[in-house]
Amino acid sequence: MRYFLDPFGCAKNQVDAEIIMASLNEAGWTGLADPEAADVIIVNSCGFIEAAKRESINAVLAWKQHYPNKKILLSGCLTQRYRAELEESLTEADGFLGCSELNHAAKKAAELFESADNAKPVGLEVNYGLRPLLGFPGSAYVKISEGCNNNCTFCAIPLIRGPLRCRAIPDITEECRQLLERGVKELCLIGQDLASYHSLPALLDAISKLPGDFWVRLLYLHPDHFPLDILNINEHDKRFLPYFDIPFQHASQKILSLMGRKGNAKSYLGLLEKIRANLPDAVIRSTFLVGFPGETEEDFTELLDFQEKARFDWLGVFTFSGEEGTAAYTMKGRVGKKTAAQRKVLIEEKQIPITEENMNRFVGRTMDVLVEETIAPDTENTPRSGSLWLGRAFCQAPEVDGAAVIKIAASAINAGNLMALPQPSGMVRGKIVARNGFDLELLAATENTLCRDAGNAEF
């Protein structure tokens, strides 16, 4: 039997999709890159906001219309939250698989063909470290927890994923060890909120004992309980990147209180000051939520002022989406969609010169870059002055930030002193010679700068 997977949503959803694939592969299924020959099309859905729900449902409708004789399995957050309603109304889907039953993906898929009893037995636990990886080679997401206890008033995650459950430190470190042995160079730790993990410093200390040259990137740390103890680990083990994704969401104390958050502009700026004082190279990404019920022009002005003072390296902006079941869904003072959209654009436009100025500080520095793909292939593996590769420096997280464009100096090409060309999943060392928009340009000049531990990785 063959399957095709159509993934939606965040990095946590990506890990879920990889677990589904691992369950199917272990049971003897074959994953395909082309849906044409697949027996089952799996839509791994997102149910976080209304637009994401529609996108996932439309995908089911489109696949069924295009392939009426194929089985469609709807998995993920949408199924987890709305299973009863979907089973009744979305007849285009032949089966449903929630987030809490990913390890049963092979059994659920087999049931679509009334052959569950004939499926190869599969254990309830998938080996996370050996799962297929859907991202760029060299990088992997490691989910350290599930669910969330923060209960922000706008967020449906607790309704979908449930309360916080933390994985055991030995399980996480074993997954990391297996990923590193496969050639992974970047471990991106994720969860709904890493700061809520029961002992994040202890986890990082355990990971620090793993041998090898690799990166550890921390994503999604709630600012109200940011664990300052981790800064010591970042300072003493350079494999732990000074990159922090901290979703502040707002700066007006009134709006933050309505969101169920305890901070304010002053305390949040103080947190940023502490991080940067300990780690001068710190790169900070954040997100803002505009158009929250009750947000006045004065509240928005406070947010603009906070943005100017915070000087984030990277910033994402979202407009409020009222989700049924959340406390914010029934709040009064709704902001018009047009006004919210205008506020989003204003912040995004204001952020452009801030990010560009912040990225300028890396120009002239020698840095490592994780190679992700070749964008100007060489002929017969012979480098030319126009050869280009795409990768990321430590200041750039997967998928959401800018990139590093890798070039080889013409002098090195002419001298023929290159050991090997950059390869996806390898590290290249060179000098950042320019910033183009949000991207950095790295010039690799000699054999000493190229291809450290490149290639030979399985994904």
**pLDDT category, 408, cuts 50, 70, 90?**
confident
- In this structure, are 8 and 56 located in the same domain? yes
Range of the domain at 327: 128-360
Residues 6+ apart with CB under 8 A from 266: none
Of the ranges 220-224, 300-304, 412-416, which one carries the lowest mean pLDDT score? Answer: 412-416
- Given a contact cutoff of 8 angstroms between Cβ atoms, the answer to whether 214 and 180 are in contact is yes
User: Is there a domain that residue 37 lies in?
Assistant: yes
Type of residue numbered 361: R
User: Is there a domain that residue 278 lies in?
Assistant: yes
Q: What is the DSSP letter of 196?
A: G
**pLDDT category, 291, cuts 50, 70, 90?**
very high
The number of folded domains in the chain is: 3
203: domain CATH number is 3.80.30.20
- In this structure, are 286 and 355 located in the same domain? yes
Bridge partners of residue 56, in order along the sequence: none
**pLDDT category, 411, cuts 50, 70, 90?**
low
User: Is there a domain that residue 114 lies in?
Assistant: yes
pLDDT digits (tens, 9 = 90+) for 426-443: 899 999 999 999 999 998
- In this structure, are 174 and 283 located in the same domain? yes
**Residue 67 pLDDT more than 50?**
yes
User: Is there a domain that residue 156 lies in?
Assistant: yes
9: domain CATH number is 3.40.50.12160
- In this structure, are 169 and 261 located in the same domain? yes
User: Is there a domain that residue 123 lies in?
Assistant: no
Task: Give pLDDT, residue 433.
Answer: 94
Q: Which of 118, 152, 186 is the last residue of a domain?
A: 118
What is the pTM (predicted TM-score) of this model?
0.89
440: domain CATH number is 2.40.50.140
Nearest to 309 by CA among 278, 271, 279, 339: 271
Task: Give pLDDT, residue 418.
Answer: 52
- Cα Rg of the chain, angstroms: 23
User: Is there a domain that residue 22 lies in?
Assistant: yes
Residue 275 or 132, more confident: 275
- In this structure, are 234 and 341 located in the same domain? yes
Task: Give pLDDT, residue 384.
Answer: 55
For residues 210-228, give the mean pLDDT.
Answer: 95
pLDDT digits (tens, 9 = 90+) for 312-326: 999 999 999 999 999
Ramachandran class of 87: left when φ > 0, alpha when ψ lies in -120 to 50, beta otherwise: alpha
Query: Average per-residue pLDDT in the chain?
Result: 88
Q: Alpha helix (H) ranges present in 198-249?
A: 200-208, 230-236
- In this structure, are 322 and 390 located in the same domain? no
Q: Which of 328, 345, 360 is the last residue of a domain?
A: 360
Torsion, CA 112, CA 118, CA 122, CA 124, rounded to 10: 60
User: Is there a domain that residue 391 lies in?
Assistant: yes
- In this structure, are 272 and 356 located in the same domain? yes
Give percent above pLDDT 70 in the chain.
89
d(CA 228, CA 244): 12
User: Is there a domain that residue 133 lies in?
Assistant: yes
- In this structure, are 173 and 252 located in the same domain? yes
**pLDDT category, 190, cuts 50, 70, 90?**
very high
Q: Residue 337: is it exposed, middle or buried by C-beta count within 10 angstroms (0-12/13-18/19+)?
A: exposed
**pLDDT category, 449, cuts 50, 70, 90?**
very low
- In this structure, are 338 and 379 located in the same domain? no
Task: Give pLDDT, residue 398.
Answer: 94
- In this structure, are 337 and 371 located in the same domain? no
Q: Which of 360, 375, 398 is the last residue of a domain?
A: 360
d(CA 144, CA 150): 16
Give percent above pLDDT 90 in the chain.
66
Task: Give pLDDT, residue 389.
Answer: 85
Type of residue numbered 407: K
- In this structure, are 146 and 239 located in the same domain? yes
Residues 6+ apart with CB under 8 A from 207: 172, 173, 176, 187, 216
**pLDDT category, 403, cuts 50, 70, 90?**
very high
For residues 69-90, give the mean pLDDT.
Answer: 90
